[in-house]
Amino acid sequence: MDDKDEKLREIHREIASAVVISKDGKFLFGRKDPTKGGVYSGAWHIPGGGVEEGESIDDALIRELGQEVVGLDISKYERTPIPIKGGGTSPKTLSTGERVLCHMSFNRFEVRLDQTAAELEQTLQPGDDLIELRWIGEQELSNLEQIPGGEEFFRQAGYLK
């Protein structure tokens, strides 16, 4: 039985994520571990994750990026909200083992770092449920297997012509 035939309990999550841009204009992407049950596993996406109960979106953004990208502390950088609202739906396996249908509202921010991608590659490592990090230039964005709506978001936000 696949997800289309299975009746899953539906949940909603607010998501805090960031377009992290290196000093030389490259974008940081992560790829989720398909064995961990997260949403959009196997696809490339900007780092981020769910806002916990009682947590502000900004606090969630700082926490999630620190968990997903070991060695990255964005608390000292300006976090500029990107006014493009978006959302998505994907099956997800909770820590309890229950499979749910997760409806997400995306809260995206821009974070510009003061180091080049090459400098950062030496210090940043995938963490939490990511298995790989990659710095992507604008010319590579169209060929990257992103989450549904990822490329359209980059076009709407003006990062991709």
Over residues 88-103, the pLDDT tens digits come to 888 888 888 899 999 9
Q: What are the φ and ψ backbone dihedral angles of 66, each rounded to 5 degrees?
A: -65, -35
Instruction: Please compute the mean of the pLDDT values over residues 135-156 and round it to a whole number.
Output: 91
Work out the mean pLDDT of the chain and round it to a whole number: 90
More confident residue, 57 or 130: 57
Reading phi first (left if > 0) and then psi (alpha if -120 to 50, else beta), residue 62 is in: alpha
pLDDT for 1: 40
Domains of the chain: 14-139 (3.90.79.10)
Report which DSSP code applies to 90: E
More confident residue, 4 or 8: 8
pLDDT band at 33 (very low <50, low <70, confident <90, very high): confident
pLDDT for 37: 63
Residue that is written with structure tokens 């710095």 in the block: 135
**Whether the model pTM is above 0.85:** yes
In the three-class reduction of DSSP (H, G, I as helix; E, B as strand; rest coil), residue 93 is classed as strand
Instruction: Specify whether the CB–CB gap between 28 and 135 falls below 8 A.
Output: yes
Over residues 38-82, the pLDDT tens digits come to 677 778 999 999 999 999 999 999 999 999 999 999 999 999 999
